[in-house]
Chain A
Amino acid sequence: MASETSPARISIYDAAAANRWRTVLLVVAFTAIIALLGYFVGEYFYPGGGLAVLPFALALSLGSAFTSYFAGDRIVLAQSQARELAPNEETELHNVVETLAIGLGIPVPKLYVIEDSAPNAFATGRDPLHASVVVTRGLIDKMDRTELEGVIAHELSHVGNRDIRVMLLVTILVGTVALLADWMWRSMFWGRGRGRDRGGGNAIIAVVAIVLAILTPIIATLIQLAVSRQREYLADASGALLTRYPPGLASALRKIAADREVLEVANKATASLYIANPLKDAPTFLDHLFDTHPPIEERIKRLEAM
């Protein structure tokens, strides 16, 4: 995570260009993973049939990539039970969002609220023209003006950096891989796999298929987490640069960390979108490997050092 160039020196134009490449890379990588998985499933069930499965696997991965690109934000918003705020509701919040969007040089995103008292927020969409910022009722109620500015600046940085597109694609592609692997795993146990009756080369294929079924979702998740943790630091930094007031976001993060309430509408897939982990799940020994967010204490420390 240590980087030579300080991220604050990177304009949103540079960050956006980097994320454009990251998007392409992600789609290619996930298409390859899904194709590989599909190929071995095919071989496993029907020796020599792997190539026949390939077009379906490709169609599935590209299909889910397209879906997440064009409709992913609507899916996430519906799943989170977010409601769009009318222009005359929460005028102070509207003002904060408009002002900071001007400071970042992006169009004003749509504003949504989740009626839940756990304070949290996220941003989603495919580009700044199709972006939405979502806050919970708890955030509006519990934060003062500078804290609200800190949180909104963090979210708008995600929009300006085009992080939102990468996050959306990752969320849905990881979901697809997990679904596929799960489905494959089940059918191996209960399945009508014909390959099992035969010996020889099929044993190898069976082993490869099983290993893939175990490993791909783990690898996919690790990619998601690694990418998302780094991005949070970057968005903290560029958000602080936007408001010129790092203590605002630091204090907001402290409040969010101290709040023990769980955000009911968040789930494992959408957790990485939020500004701080909304699940508050109990730490395990694999804790740091599977964290969607960098530890809040570390983020606060970095903000205070600015």
Chain B
Amino acid sequence: MEIVVLIVIVAAIALFFVATYNRLVTLRQRVKEAWADIDVQLKRRHDLIPNLVETVKGYATHESTVFQNVTQARAAAVAAGASASPQERAQAENMLTTALRSVFAVAENYPQLQAVQEFKDLSENLTATEDKIAFARRFYNGNVRDYNTSLQTFPTNVFAGMLGFGPEQYFELAEATEREVPQVKF
């Protein structure tokens, strides 16, 4: 009799471990997939910048510091993309965003440049890419939140570390116009 009870208890515990483990793997996988989305958009932004710099350079010949800054910031962001953690990457990307803003500020002083089709296309493309980065980031952070919550609630938090699961980092960009989450009530 005791044997049966023991077997049932052990089986229940084993089942619980398997279910928890599988759920954590699924959630972590979603975080990784979401991260890949951000990565694609960041790379796209890095690819657009050299063209932008070339185009603006053609008209604004006396602004070499601005171009140097953005080129450096881009190189740093690309380097961070190879290995760094989400936090370090976000820092590099924030630097790049600031540098890009100064390029556009410079461009505003050259009315002829504003009329160039290539410049218009590039700035439209960059704006669209920034939008996509913002949305990809939101999706990623949502998945990180789900995973971390799962990880840090009882009883998972007791043994998640033993199974090799650690919390994931949020991807935080400095964004002035982040909209608030609407409250949905039914």
Residue numbers of A with Cβ under 8 A of B are 1-3, 6-9, 11, 13, 95, 98-100, 102-105, 233, 237, 240-241, 244-246, 302, 305-306
B180 / chain A contacts, CB cutoff of 8 Å: 244
In the assembly, what is the distance between CA of A302 and CA of B185, in Å? Answer: 8
Mask of B43-77 contacts with A, CB within 8 angstroms, 1/0? 00000000000000000000000000000000000
Chain A CB count within 10 A is highest, among B132, B135, B142, B179, for B135
Q: Are B131 and A237 in touch, CB under 8 angstroms?
A: no
Q: Which of B33, B142, B146, B182 contacts A240 (CB 8 A)?
A: B182
Q: Are A105 and B139 in touch, CB under 8 angstroms?
A: yes
Q: Are B186 and A2 in touch, CB under 8 angstroms?
A: yes
User: Of residues 145 to 168 in B, which have CB atoms within 8 Å of A's CB atoms?
Assistant: 146
Q: Are A244 and B179 in touch, CB under 8 angstroms?
A: yes
- Contact A8/B131 with A102-B41, A103-B139, A244-B179 known, Cβ cut-off 8 Å: no
Write the nearest CB–CB distance from B147 to chain A, whole angstroms: 12
In the assembly, what is the distance between CA of A2 and CA of B185, in Å? Answer: 10
B184 — nearest CB in chain A belongs to which residue?
A: A8
At the interface, is chain A mostly helix, strand, loop or mixed?
helix
Q: Are B182 and A306 in touch, CB under 8 angstroms?
A: yes
A237 / chain B contacts, CB cutoff of 8 Å: 184, 186
Residue numbers of B with Cβ under 8 A of A are 30, 33-34, 37, 41, 128, 131-132, 135-136, 138-139, 142-143, 146, 179-186
What are 20 A-to-B residue pairs whose CB atoms are below 8 Å?
A2-B186, A3-B186, A6-B184, A8-B182, A13-B30, A95-B128, A95-B131, A98-B128, A99-B131, A102-B41, A102-B135, A103-B139, A240-B184, A241-B181, A241-B182, A241-B184, A244-B179, A245-B182, A306-B183, A306-B184
A103 / chain B contacts, CB cutoff of 8 Å: 135-136, 138-139
A9 / chain B contacts, CB cutoff of 8 Å: 184
A240 — nearest CB in chain B belongs to which residue?
A: B182
At the interface, is chain B mostly helix, strand, loop or mixed?
helix
Q: A7-B184, A8-B184, A244-B182 are in contact. List 6 more A-B contacts (CB 8 A).
A: A2-B186, A95-B128, A100-B135, A233-B186, A244-B179, A245-B182
Write the nearest CB–CB distance from B173 to chain A, whole angstroms: 14
Q: Are B185 and A305 in touch, CB under 8 angstroms?
A: yes
Chain B CB count within 10 A is highest, among A11, A98, A99, A102, for A102
Q: Are A99 and B142 in touch, CB under 8 angstroms?
A: no
A6 / chain B contacts, CB cutoff of 8 Å: 184-186
B30 / chain A contacts, CB cutoff of 8 Å: 13, 105
- The tally of CB-CB contacts under 8 A between chains A and B is 61
In the assembly, what is the distance between CA of A30 and CA of B128, in Å? Answer: 45
In the assembly, what is the distance between CA of A233 and CA of B184, in Å? Answer: 11
Q: Are A11 and B135 in touch, CB under 8 angstroms?
A: no
In the assembly, what is the distance between CA of A236 and CA of B175, in Å? Answer: 26
Write the nearest CB–CB distance from B22 to chain A, whole angstroms: 14
In the assembly, what is the distance between CA of A245 and CA of B136, in Å? Answer: 17
Going nearest first, the 5 A-B pairs with the smallest beta carbon separation are A103-B135, A8-B184, A244-B179, A306-B182, A105-B139
A241 / chain B contacts, CB cutoff of 8 Å: 181-182, 184
A234 — nearest CB in chain B belongs to which residue?
A: B186
Q: Are A99 and B128 in touch, CB under 8 angstroms?
A: yes
Q: Which of A13, A102, A104, A245 contacts B179 (CB 8 A)?
A: A245
A244 / chain B contacts, CB cutoff of 8 Å: 179-182
Q: Are A7 and B186 in touch, CB under 8 angstroms?
A: yes
In the assembly, what is the distance between CA of A245 and CA of B181, in Å? Answer: 8
B37 / chain A contacts, CB cutoff of 8 Å: 102, 105
Q: Are B139 and A11 in touch, CB under 8 angstroms?
A: no
Chain B CB count within 10 A is highest, among A95, A99, A237, A245, for A99
Q: Are A105 and B34 in touch, CB under 8 angstroms?
A: yes
In the assembly, what is the distance between CA of A102 and CA of B142, in Å? Answer: 13
Write the nearest CB–CB distance from A2 to chain B, whole angstroms: 6
B143 / chain A contacts, CB cutoff of 8 Å: 105
B135 / chain A contacts, CB cutoff of 8 Å: 99-100, 102-103
B181 / chain A contacts, CB cutoff of 8 Å: 241, 244
In the assembly, what is the distance between CA of A112 and CA of B176, in Å? Answer: 34
In the assembly, what is the distance between CA of A232 and CA of B180, in Å? Answer: 23
Chain A CB count within 10 A is highest, among B34, B180, B183, for B183
In the assembly, what is the distance between CA of A100 and CA of B186, in Å? Answer: 24
A245 / chain B contacts, CB cutoff of 8 Å: 179, 182
In the assembly, what is the distance between CA of A290 and CA of B34, in Å? Answer: 41
- Contact A246/B182 with A98-B132, A99-B128, A102-B135 known, Cβ cut-off 8 Å: yes
